[in-house]
Structure 1
Amino acid sequence: MGVAGCGKSTVGAAVAAAQQLPLVEGDDFHSAASRAKMAAGIPLTDTDRAQWLVTLGGQLAAHPDGVVLTCSALKKAYRDQLRAAATGLRFVFLEIDRESALQRVGSRGSHFFSASLVDSQFATLESPVGEPGVLRADALAPIEQLRQDVAAWLQDKDPA
Structure 2
Amino acid sequence: MRIPHVVAVMGVAGTGKTTIGTLLAARLGVPYAEGDDFHPQANIDRMSSGTPLEDADRWPWLDAIGAWAHERAGLGGVVSCSALKRAYRDRLRAAAPGLVFVHLSGDRALVEDRMAHRQGHFMPTALLDSQFATLQPLGPDEAGVVVDVSGSPEEIGERAAQALAGLPDARLR
TM-score by length of 2: 0.87
Q: Which residue of 2 aligns with 1:151?
A: 161
Q: Which residue of 2 aligns with 1:126?
A: 136
What is the deviation of 1:29?
Answer: 1.1
Q: Which residue of 2 aligns with 1:25?
A: 34
Q: Which residue of 2 aligns with 1:36?
A: 45
Gaps of 5+ in 2: 1-9
Q: Within 5 Å, which residues of 2 pair with 1:87-102? A: 87-102=97-112
CA distance in structure 2 between the partners assigned to 1:41 and 1:60 by the alignment: 29
Q: Any idea what the Cα deviations from partners look like across 1:30-72, whole Å, max 9, x if unmatched?
A: 1111101111000001011010001001110121211101000
* 1:48 matches 2:57: yes
CA distance in structure 1 between the partners assigned to 2:101 and 2:36 by the alignment: 17
* 1:86 matches 2:58: no
Give the conservation status (yes or no) of the 8 Å contact 1:129–1:136.
Answer: no
Q: Which runs of 4+ in 1 moved over 4 A?
A: none
What is the deviation of 1:153?
Answer: 3.0
Secondary structure of the corresponding residue to residue 151 of structure 2: coil
Number of aligned positions between the proteins: 160
What is the deviation of 1:84?
Answer: 1.4
CA distance in structure 2 between the partners assigned to 1:150 and 1:98 by the alignment: 20
CA distance in structure 2 between the partners assigned to 1:75 and 1:151 by the alignment: 23
- Report the RMSD for the aligned CA atoms in angstroms: 1.4
Give the conservation status (yes or no) of the 8 Å contact 2:145–2:164.
Answer: no
Secondary structure of the corresponding residue to residue 64 of structure 2: helix
Secondary structure of the corresponding residue to residue 73 of structure 1: coil
